[in-house]
């Protein structure tokens, strides 16, 4: 045991599994008397796991030449002007390569009241509102899926489909159109609802792209609900549910693969 105080650096290293056994025991004891802080550290761990689940495939890809550290540094030395979309793209690529730790995530997760944060809050609110409904859980039922997808795509001005989550044990209940959230600038939202054999439900909240079309992602736990958010230059998407961690990650990854038409995904696998 040491007499050194527990610092935020210790907590971040603890969340990433980087502490030695002796220091980890001390942090365990420290957190045992501070349940709110322990919950925050657990959220860091789950966020890191979510990033890995959704984006490990990016880390396996080679860095585009235009985003190599040498090119970026050379551009800065020459005083070249970088646009915000270019800087955002560089941040996403570099984050995917090196963001295995909660320490880095603490510096890149968007602050409160950004459009991403507001979209997550809207998605959680809509989930909580409609997931308990029986007769009125959706506006258009799954037996009209073709109409549902066409209608929602037109209304949010983005080409979407209803992800197939059958291998995860979920079937489509249906969906509805939701109004645009205040201050998000993302326009109206489509909500798709799914249910499994245990009548557990999850929702997928989709809007058109944000005005800057920046890529981003975020994980949050709000009122006992997990929300996986990501955005690209076509749509934003938030998957909301209260499933076991591994199940939520598997579902969120499958939604991401299908809505981005990622080559790793093959229907029925």
Q: Is residue 94 part of a domain?
A: yes
Which range of residues forms the domain containing residue 139?
Answer: 115-259
- Is residue 177 domain-shared with residue 236, that is, in the same domain? yes
pLDDT grade for 262, boundaries at 50, 70 and 90: low
The residue written with tokens 């690529």 in the block is 93
208 near 158, Cβ under 8 Å?
yes
b/e per residue, 26-62, with b = 16+ CB within 10 A?
A: bbeebbeeeeeebeebebbebbbebbebbbeeeeeee
**pLDDT at res. 178:** 93
pLDDT at 10 over 70: yes
Which tokens hold the place of 135? Answer: 């007769």
How open is the CA angle 49-2-12, to the nearest 5 degrees?
A: 20
pLDDT of the residue at 13: 87
User: Is 246 a member of any domain?
Assistant: yes
Statement to judge: residues 77 and 47 lie in one domain? yes
Q: Are 96 and 208 part of one and the same domain? A: no
Q: Which residues contact 95 (CB under 8 A, 6 or more apart)?
A: 104, 108
DSSP state string for 141-184: EGGGHHHHHHHHHHHHTS-------GGGTEEEEEEEEEPPPTTT
Q: Is residue 266 part of a domain?
A: no
Residues 253, 190 share a domain = yes
Burial 66-105 (b: 16+ CB within 10 A, else e): ebeeeebeeeeeeeeeeeeeeebbbbbbbbbbebbbbbbb
Whether residues 133 and 97 share a domain: the answer is no
Find the range with the poorest average confidence among 21-30, 63-72, 207-216, 238-247. Answer: 63-72
User: Quick one: 119 and 239 in the same domain?
Assistant: yes
Judgement on whether residues 13 and 85 belong to the same structural domain of the protein: yes
> Pseudo-torsion of CA 247, 249, 250, 253, nearest 10°?
160
> Quick one: 97 and 209 in the same domain?
no
Per-residue confidence (pLDDT) for residue 54, from 0 to 100:
57
Q: Average pLDDT of 223-245?
A: 93
Is residue 189 in some structural domain? yes
For residue 269, tell me if it sits in a domain.
no
> What predicted TM-score, i.e. pTM, was given to this entire model?
0.62
Lowest mean pLDDT of 42-46, 104-108, 226-230, name the range.
Answer: 104-108
124 and 249 part of one domain:
yes
> Are 140 and 34 in the same domain?
no
Which tokens is 225 given? 């609900």
264 lies in some domain: no
Same domain, 75 and 120: no
CATH code: domain of residue 159: 3.30.200.100
Q: Look at 57-61, 92-96, 124-128 and tell me which has the smallest mean pLDDT.
A: 92-96
- Whether 22 shows a pLDDT value over 60: the answer reads yes
The answer to whether residue 92 is domain-embedded is: yes
Strand partners of residue 202 = 194
Mean local confidence (pLDDT), 24-53: 80
User: Domain for residue 1, yes or no?
Assistant: no
Domain boundary among 58, 75, 108: 108
Name the band, by pLDDT with cuts 50, 70 and 90, for residue 85: low
**Boundary of a domain, candidates 108, 141, 164:** 108
Q: How many domains does the chain have?
A: 2
Beta strand segments in 18-75, E: none
Q: Across the chain, what does the average pLDDT equal?
A: 80
Residue of 228, 15, 214, 6 lying closest to 105 (CA atoms): 15
For residues 220 and 107, which has the higher predicted lDDT (pLDDT)? 220
Among 90, 108, 126, identify where a domain stops. 108
68 plus 167 within the same structural domain: no
């Amino acid at each position: 045991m040491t007499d050194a105080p527990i610092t935020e650096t210790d907590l971040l290293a603890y969340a990433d599994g980087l502490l030695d056994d002796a220091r980890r025991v001390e942090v365990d004891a420290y957190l045992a008397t501070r349940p709110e802080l322990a919950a925050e550290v657990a959220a860091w761990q789950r966020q890191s796991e979510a990033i890995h689940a959704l984006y490990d495939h990016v880390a396996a890809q080679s860095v585009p030449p235009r985003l190599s550290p040498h090119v970026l540094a050379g551009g800065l030395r020459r005083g070249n002007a970088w646009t915000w979309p270019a800087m955002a793209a560089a941040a996403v690529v570099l984050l995917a390569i090196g963001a295995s730790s909660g320490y880095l995530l603490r510096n890149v997760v968007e602050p409160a009241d950004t459009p991403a944060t507001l979209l997550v809050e809207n998605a959680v609110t809509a989930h909580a509102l409609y997931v308990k409904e029986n007769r009125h859980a959706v506006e258009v039922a799954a037996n009209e899926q073709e109409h549902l997808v066409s209608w929602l795509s037109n209304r949010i001005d983005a080409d979407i489909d209803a992800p197939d989550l059958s291998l995860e044990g979920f079937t489509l209940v249906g969906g509805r159109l939701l109004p645009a959230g205040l201050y998000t600038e993302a326009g109206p939202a489509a909500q798709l609802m799914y249910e499994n054999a245990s009548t557990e439900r999850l929702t997928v909240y989709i809007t058109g792209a944000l005005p800057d079309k920046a890529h981003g992602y975020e994980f949050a736990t709000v009122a006992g609900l997990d929300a996986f958010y990501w955005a690209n230059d076509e749509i934003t998407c938030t998957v909301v549910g209260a499933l076991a961690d591994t199940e939520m990650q598997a579902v969120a990854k499958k939604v991401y693969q299908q809505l981005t038409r990622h080559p790793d995904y093959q229907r029925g696998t």
